[in-house]
């Protein structure tokens, strides 16, 4: 069964600094996708970045990048140049690629607080 682990319940970072949010996963499927979502205090779930298991390069989206270490089964999110608006819950998630086994499972989340 899929398992997603986020070991940091809370993180603090100074504005304009970079921060890394940890995520490890477990799957026996060779084809899968890893996702990060942001949930601000308003409650909506916002997709940030995606990494496929066969992707050769780490995914990047603006200030977000994903440090994908397949052998270690880790998919850490790096946020560069933190802004006050980055304060939110961040969830790591994984989906396996089988059509009839493609549910998305989430980690427990990390609450990021950006300090001015």
Partner 1 sequence: DAGVIQSPRHEVTEMGQEVTLRCKPISGHNSLFWYRQTMMRGLELLIYFNNNVPIDDSGMPEDRFSAKMPNASFSTLKIQPSEPRDSAVYFCASSLEVGGPLGPSVLTFGAGSRLTVL
Please give the residue ranges that form the binding site for partner 1 (CB under 8 A): 31-33, 35, 37, 43-45, 47, 50, 52-54, 91, 95-109
Least separation in angstroms between residue 93's CB and partner 1 is 8
Nearer to partner 1, 12 or 47 (CB): 47
> CA distances (Å), 75 to each of 37, 42, 43, 44, 81, in order?
13, 26, 24, 22, 19
Least separation in angstroms between residue 74's CB and partner 1 is 18
Nearer to partner 1, 49 or 114 (CB): 49
| Greatest pairwise CA separation for the chain in angstroms | 46
Q: Judge whether 90 and 36 are in contact, CB under 8 Å.
A: yes
Nearer to partner 1, 9 or 116 (CB): 9
Least separation in angstroms between residue 28's CB and partner 1 is 16
Q: Which two tokens stand for residue 79?
A: 């946020």
If we measure between CA atoms, which residue out of 26, 31, 22, 30 comes closest to residue 91?
22
């Amino acid at each position: 069964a899929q398992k997603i682990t986020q070991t940091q319940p809370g993180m603090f970072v100074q504005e304009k600094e970079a921060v890394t949010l940890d995520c490890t996963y477990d799957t026996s499927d060779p084809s899968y996708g890893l996702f990060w979502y942001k949930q601000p205090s308003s409650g909506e779930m916002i997709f940030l970045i995606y990494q496929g298991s066969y992707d050769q390069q780490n995914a990047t989206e603006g200030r977000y990048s994903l440090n994908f270490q397949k052998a270690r089964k880790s998919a850490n999110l790096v946020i560069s140049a933190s802004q006050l608006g980055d304060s939110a819950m961040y969830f790591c998630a994984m989906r396996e690629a089988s059509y009839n086994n493609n549910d998305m499972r989430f980690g427990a989340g990390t609450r990021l607080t950006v300090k001015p």
